[in-house]
Structure 1
């Protein structure tokens, strides 16, 4: 079944088959695609694209793309557009990117962000390596937040 699953008003997730259905993308108003794979195709529409060249392997470094992708999703949404994040099956890589976005820009914990993505697309299941990287990212975001907030002592 071809479908785009809505995570927020400006963020959708799917597998590559759905992502390459131009009618589906047009119907949902998708203006930007993040393709989290080395080999999956981009849709035929003339829209913004970003490739995150990783395989669905626990040893792959997806962490280094979290900030860039989260910021791109945020920027597209702020400009009134909609981002679709996809990988081959729409389960591990794309789910990890969407979870990272919710943690950074919606200030959700890893658990809350993941549950939100899973409620939109029940098939999601980041591999153990990506889950570890998301845990690391959560800690990184927390320490950034602490550095950014002014100290109240003294």
Structure 2
């Protein structure tokens, strides 16, 4: 399912597949993208963006990008924009960048910032799961399976 998870009014997180869906980006009014990967594509939609060229490996130095990314997210928000931070799966590198943003610009501790990012993402998954469960009978019937 293509989806962007809102972490605040001006910050969203997602995976690369959702990040490249032009209709979804337009619907969510995304104005800036941070692609936290060496290999994932940028959206075809012509919006501003930056690449953080790291692989999802512990040896990569993601720290050196924290300030630049956090400041870019803050600047976009102050201009009324919305930033999407994404990596391949939208769980590790992108979550670290969002956590750094909340620490720097919202003055949260690591535990508070990371806890908030995880909680927002889990809440979003729970909402999506609720929608799936609500429509499970129709999905099963359409596939010819019974529950």
For 1:89 and 1:30, the matched residues in 2 are separated by 19
Q: Which runs of 4+ in 1 moved over 3 A?
A: none
Measured after TM superposition, the shift of residue 96 of structure 1 is 0.2
Structure number with bigger Rg: 2
Q: TM-score, normalised by structure 1?
A: 0.78
For 1:59 and 1:106, the matched residues in 2 are separated by 28
Q: CA RMSD in A?
A: 1.0
Q: Please tell me whether residue 59 in structure 1 is matched to residue 59 in structure 2.
A: yes
Measured after TM superposition, the shift of residue 35 of structure 1 is 0.1
Gaps of 5+ in 2: 124-147
What CA deviation, in whole Å up to 9, does each residue of 1:17-60 have, x standing for no partner? 00001110000000000000000000011100100000000010
Gaps of 5+ in 1: 124-154
Which aligned pairs between 1:121-136 and structure 2 lie closer than 5 A?
121-122=121-122
Q: TM-score, normalised by structure 2?
A: 0.82
Measured after TM superposition, the shift of residue 121 of structure 1 is 1.3
Partner of 2:27: 27
Partner of 2:41: 41
Give the number of equivalent residue pairs.
123
Which aligned pairs between 1:73-84 and structure 2 lie closer than 5 A?
73-84=73-84
For 2:72 and 2:85, the matched residues in 1 are separated by 11
